Amino acid sequence: MCQIQERMKQDLTSQGLAESTCAMYLCYARAFVVHFKRSPRELGAEHVRAWLLHLLTVRNGRPSTVNVAMAALMFLYGTTLSRPEVTRGLRRVRRSFPEPDVLSGSEVSALIEHAPTLKHKAIFMLMYSAGLRVSEVLALKASDIHSKRMVVHVRAPKNRHDRVVPLSPRTLTVLREYFRGLRQRGEYLFPGQSVKAPITRLAVHLALKQAAGRARIAKRVHPHLLRHAFATHMIESRRGHPHRSELTRSSLAAEHGAVYPFVRSTAPFDKEPHRGIGHRGGAQTRIAVHGRARVYRPHTGAGRSCAGR
């Protein structure tokens, strides 16, 4: 299995998959081999089906978990072992889609105020005010924060397309306070135990759960919920606060996809109560999208590419 595992690792890397995806696929491939205690070359379609059924029924695995395990085996047999017929008849497990949890503005403020440390507070504010993924926040460097232009340069995001997002004035104030108190400064804006590596996703998740407990928020809180809250609050401001029942998962997904590329510089918690997100007064900016290239264009001047300083 060691040789097959190393070859699978090389195949995953050569296809440019994310590091977390590679680690997950390797983990499930090892679990599959350990379960039968035989080489994957000696196992076939019936073994694959039996193990996936074991995950779903005996281990009570979630449909999403079983689907990831299935994808790992499809890669193992389809790419690494060149035996695609083993997994050819597999179908993804159907998932249920419950009503999504949406944080209110007061709940987001409570989470931020109850953050365990100033570092966590800055992370929460960046995720909410700019609609960033947790992986994008953790990969930020000090040079990616442009205080003069009031933008944040997001590099190598999930879709591999760099982009520029507006920087909230309140978030900038907290970032400056955090950075002044930082004892050891390394490559990353939010270092972990070592200055050579960023803080982990698990640490952010645990800090958010701790903040939710302090704020007495009963909802299931996770880092990506702040990104959803950002887009939802933008949509609500544009619609005029629709009824909660109208915000179904499908409608949120569709409208979030339309909101994220066109983000105004006024974060939901920065705008004045009597002004909507679309108010054009003041020195607002926007992110315009032309094809795949994202261009930063102030209302009062000519466009500049997101790589321009």
Q: Which domain holds residue 241?
A: 105-260
Q: Which pTM does this prediction carry? A: 0.68
Domain contains 100: no
Give the number of other CB atoms < 10 A from CB of residue 266: 23
Domain contains 281: no
Measure the CA–CA gap between 212 and 306, rounded to whole angstroms.
35
Please list the pLDDT of the chain residue by residue as tens digits (309 residues).
688 999 999 999 999 888 889 999 999 999 999 999 999 999 999 999 999 999 999 998 899 999 999 999 999 999 999 999 999 989 999 887 777 678 888 999 999 999 999 999 999 999 999 999 999 999 999 999 999 999 999 987 776 788 898 999 999 999 999 988 887 788 899 998 888 899 999 999 999 999 999 999 998 899 999 998 888 888 877 655 444 444 444 444 444 444 444 444 455 556 544 333 333 333 333 333 333 333 333 333 333 333 333
CATH code: domain of residue 238: 1.10.443.10
The SS3 assignment for 48 reads: helix
Domain contains 244: yes
Asked whether the beta carbons of 115 and 226 are under 8 A apart, the reply is no
Same domain, yes or no: 79 and 117: no
Domain contains 266: no
Last residue of a domain, one of 55, 86, 117: 86
Asked whether the beta carbons of 11 and 3 are under 8 A apart, the reply is no
Same domain, yes or no: 114 and 244: yes
The SS3 assignment for 151 reads: strand
Same domain, yes or no: 77 and 167: no
Rg (CA), the chain: 22
Measure the CA–CA gap between 222 and 209, rounded to whole angstroms.
7
Asked whether the beta carbons of 190 and 123 are under 8 A apart, the reply is yes
